[in-house]
Homo-oligomer: A and B are copies of this chain.
């Protein structure tokens, strides 16, 4: 019995290592050029090439830094969950703000022109839907920071997403009654001490979602400021762990049916 259990344990460890190795080796990435109106855009596609058949797709919406290393790392993390991830481009091909003033300049363009924000968001979703490896009936989205604003605007267009995850998203200037267009679920993962997107923005969004009877869940983390996915204190380390668990469970719940 003891030898059999030891064999079992060794086998299990071997399977875990082999699987992990295979998955990493087969992670495929590709930059895809596309357009919204006359604007050239370039998004980042990433998925596990070892998997077979069509898979659920996750549209990722970058934060104010655009296609930073963090954006690509987060896209990879989500792709490893088994989804085809397309990190769409909101700012335009080659536009990567190099400092905070440049970031603010970029996001202000879209925060003040919500029709343009929506059009950019939809353009990326169309690219994801068109991928031959994507099951277009199983789509979700995730947005970080500024990408939280874009993500809410996107679901408020009535886009056919089964769910949207906001990770320290900023929420402002939504047309309140637009929440009734949301078709899927919304998961809001937020720091209670976020100075960029203060708790009052969350409270306001929650009111709109409640009024529209949208299916949502809010996880609010104490002692946590903005950008907790790059944690600065022990509370944010935990928030970073918790958000990954919550997001993974959420995607599994809506995309694995």
Residues of A within 8 A of B (CB): 4-5, 7-8, 11-12, 192-193, 199, 203, 206, 209-210, 213-223, 235, 242, 245, 249
Contacts and interface: CB of A to CB of B under 8 A. Distances in A.
B206 A220 contact: yes
Given A213-B222, A217-B221, 9 more contacts: A5-B11, A8-B11, A8-B12, A192-B206, A193-B210, A215-B222, A217-B222, A217-B242, A245-B249
Contacts of A5: 11
A233 to B, nearest CB: 11
A185 to B, nearest CB: 9
Contacts of A219: 217-220
Contacts of A199: 206
Given A192-B210, A245-B249, A218 B220 contact: yes
A231 to B, nearest CB: 15
A12 B74 CA distance: 34
Most-contacted residue by chain B among A12, A220, A249 (CB, 10 A): A220
Nearest to A234: B215
A182 to B, nearest CB: 11
